[in-house]
Amino acid sequence: MLGFFVIVICMMQFSFVEVQQSEFNRTGLEQYLSSNANTLKYEFIRLRQLVEVANPNRKSLINQLKKCRIQYKKLEGFTGYYFSYSERDLNGPAIPVVEEEPESKFVRPPHGLQVIEEMIFQKEIPKKELTEEVDFVIKLTEKLAQTFTTLRPYEYQLFDILQLRTVKVYTIGVNHFDCQSLKTGHAETIASLNSLKEILKASYAHADFSKLFATIDSTTNFIKEQEKHTGKEKEFDYFTLYKNYFIPLNTQLIAVRNATLKSGAKNIRALNLNARTIFEKDAYNTYFFTKMQLNKSNAYLPLLGKILFFDPILSKDNSVSCSSCHKPELAYTDGMPRAIGFLLHDTLPRNTPTLLNAALQRNLFHDARALVLEDQAKTVVQNEREMHGDFGEVVKKLRQSDEYRKLFAKAFSGTKDTSITEGGILTALAEFQRTLLSFDSRFDKAIRGQENDLSADEINGYNLFMGKAKCGHCHFAGLFNGTTPPLYTESEFDVIGVPAQNKKPYTLDADPGRYSVFKNAELFYAFKTPTIRNTEVTGPYMHNGVFKTLEEVIDFYDVGGGVGLGINLPGQTLPSDKLNLTALEKKQLILFIKSLTDTSEVVYFNQPLPAMDDINSPLNSRKSRGY
């Protein structure tokens, strides 16, 4: 009998050990991170030693900087997830960060690997400044190494980071976005992917990840093979890399996550980590981008917003609706260089942007002055040059309609207030815009593996977009706008030097852009980077509509923006180097851009507007879409 209990106890102990071996090893992960942060510190110390010599050797500095970057990539993801400021100081763009507060003049200087890279590639290496910058980063890595020892990460956060890293690696890693002089994006991507294996081994000592690891190996092998054949005559194949390798890799990560955590990812961030690809609307959570709402509205709310969108009752004289400028047949633009104003013979200062995917950006309007869709709608309705509406009067008019009263009651059923209010109007308009998601273009379907009807020229156009043409450095793959992956918490603002007219002599357009919102000199002529989805049908282009065709837009970037046209613009953030695109490459770029056209989510309104209770009310004569 005693022997029986001994056997049972031994079996229980053995079973317990097996469970423990497959559990999350938080200490192992912390040790991995801390150890690699220390190694990164020593790589920077070695770089400093090379800077200290009498005549620093540029080649030696470059080779050591490459080692620093490769080592940094083992930590990337964790720094961005937990320490956003440290991430920026380690590897942020080499441009100042403007504090966007009213009347603030504070500009945070850039730091880190990209700043060091620029210094090393200068004609005369600024030894003093380079030494100070390396010292700054050494101190930062010391703090990181200490912090990582007591990080205490949750298990779900580990999988968040692994999946977010794969998105970052593909969108702004493999295409040399953060190493534009070194051009080591391919090697760094291989290092990043291999570190996924190291991280999982450190976190789960005895778990079986063989299938995932095999997918990682096949991905890195593809990158190595591509490097052998990529050159002047052949672009790196970013299309196949994502379609045949990154989709299976993410699919495997989702499977491992679900098997390990026994549940899918929590849908609490911009990117839905349960989605297979970044080229589908289910990959993005519209409530994260422009307003932190976790519960979706009922079906009547966007329907109400749709009716209000086409109803000119929001304007002062019931003649102009939202759809007067955002025309459905033009992907919710108006086909004009600049919008036509409410007042007679009045032309507004800027081009009308598309509303398709407008919900998937951090800021709204060309100068990004609105942070939420509700504020965007309110600004337009109240602007005397756009709709000249007054919400007090609008509410009074809507309340004269039993149809509208019933629509609002249904739309806000279960809430504290089901009556017609200003807030209700704005919420409905915003909810309608959140439904306008466009992710079923021919390109989307092809890269998702659903269809195979892209031509070789269209695919090469995408590869050029991500590679030689550097379009993907601002219009990030997936959304193809300037909202920065993988966290999507920041928007890109660029000074590209848009001219006032498309002819010589070129002069800079006088619109101050973002400066009109925050009076900081660094923001002069800066504009939000828009999406290129559906641009086939949304011309003319740029904030002032100066370019009529996509060919003109490509030519503008090919010469180096405004500076390339001869405009004196010291603050231009767009690189002024010529891209040297051939005629065929320009054609292929445009073919790719046109393959992103998808107006399947465009909606029309072909029914009578809600009538007023008084059959003799002049409001009953108003027309859908206005005049």
How large is the average pLDDT for residues 214-242? Answer: 93
Maximum distance among all Cα pairs of the chain, rounded to whole angstroms: 101
Structure tokens at 67: 């080692």
The answer to whether residues 204 and 18 touch, using CB atoms and an 8 Å cutoff, is no
Q: What is the pLDDT of residue 554?
A: 98
Q: What is the pLDDT of residue 183?
A: 96
For residue 25, pLDDT beyond 80: yes
Q: What is the pLDDT of residue 297?
A: 66
Please state, in angstroms and rounded to a whole number, the distance separating the CA atoms of residues 250 and 231. Answer: 28
Structure tokens at 556: 């503008």
Q: What is the pLDDT of residue 556?
A: 98
pLDDT per residue as tens digits for the range 333-383: 999 999 998 888 899 999 999 999 999 998 899 999 998 899 999 999 999
Q: What is the pLDDT of residue 8?
A: 35
Helices (H), 23-126: 26-52, 58-72, 78-82, 84-91, 113-120
For residue 311, pLDDT beyond 90: yes
How large is the average pLDDT for residues 3-17? Answer: 36
Please state, in angstroms and rounded to a whole number, the distance separating the CA atoms of residues 94 and 521. Answer: 17
Q: What is the pLDDT of residue 235?
A: 92
Q: What is the pLDDT of residue 622?
A: 94
Q: Is the alpha carbon torsion for 583, 586, 590, 592 positive or negative? A: positive
How large is the average pLDDT for residues 447-471? Answer: 97
| Among the ranges given (11-20, 63-72, 154-163), the one the predictor scored with the smallest mean pLDDT | 11-20
Maximum average pLDDT range among 290-294, 408-412, 518-522? 408-412
Please indicate whether residue 102 or residue 484 has the higher confidence score (pLDDT).
484
| Among the ranges given (42-56, 292-306, 532-546), the one the predictor scored with the smallest mean pLDDT | 292-306
Integer distance in angstroms from the first to the last C-alpha of the chain? 94
Domains and CATH numbers, the chain: 25-153+176-206+214-226 (1.20.1420.20), 297-437+603-621 (1.10.760.10), 442-595 (1.10.760.10)
Q: What percent of the chain has pLDDT over 90?
A: 84
pLDDT category at 448 given cuts 50, 70, 90 is very high
Element (H, E) at 256: helix 247-261
Please indicate whether residue 106 or residue 576 has the higher confidence score (pLDDT).
576
pLDDT category at 293 given cuts 50, 70, 90 is low
pLDDT per residue as tens digits for the range 258-281: 999 977 667 778 999 999 999 999
pTM over 0.85: yes
Q: What is the pLDDT of residue 12?
A: 36
Please state, in angstroms and rounded to a whole number, the distance separating the CA atoms of residues 471 and 477. Answer: 9
pLDDT per residue as tens digits for the range 153-192: 999 999 999 999 999 999 999 999 999 999 999 999 999 9
| Among the ranges given (82-86, 366-370, 619-623), the one the predictor scored with the smallest mean pLDDT | 82-86
pLDDT per residue as tens digits for the range 114-147: 999 999 999 999 999 999 999 999 999 999 999 9
Q: What is the pLDDT of residue 1?
A: 40
Q: Which of 436, 452, 455, 434 is nearest to 444 (CA)?
A: 452
How large is the average pLDDT for residues 534-549? Answer: 98
pLDDT per residue as tens digits for the range 488-517: 988 889 999 999 999 999 999 999 999 999
pLDDT per residue as tens digits for the range 574-611: 999 999 999 999 999 999 999 999 999 999 998 999 99
Please indicate whether residue 186 or residue 414 has the higher confidence score (pLDDT).
186
For residue 420, pLDDT beyond 50: yes
Strand bridging mode 107-108 / 527-528: unpaired
For residue 248, pLDDT beyond 90: yes
The answer to whether residues 90 and 112 touch, using CB atoms and an 8 Å cutoff, is yes
Mean pLDDT, the chain, integer: 92
Sequence-separated (6 or more) residues with CB below 8 Å from residue 377: 322, 425, 426, 429, 430, 433
Q: Which amino acid is at 275?
A: A
How large is the average pLDDT for residues 464-470? Answer: 97
Phi, psi (degrees; rounded to nearest 5) at 544 = -110, 5
| Among the ranges given (1-5, 35-39, 175-179), the one the predictor scored with the smallest mean pLDDT | 1-5
For residue 324, pLDDT beyond 60: yes
DSSP state of 607: S
Q: Which of 403, 425, 409, 431 is nearest to 302 (CA)?
A: 431
Please state, in angstroms and rounded to a whole number, the distance separating the CA atoms of residues 195 and 74. Answer: 6
pLDDT per residue as tens digits for the range 561-576: 999 999 999 999 999 9
Please state, in angstroms and rounded to a whole number, the distance separating the CA atoms of residues 343 and 16. Answer: 77
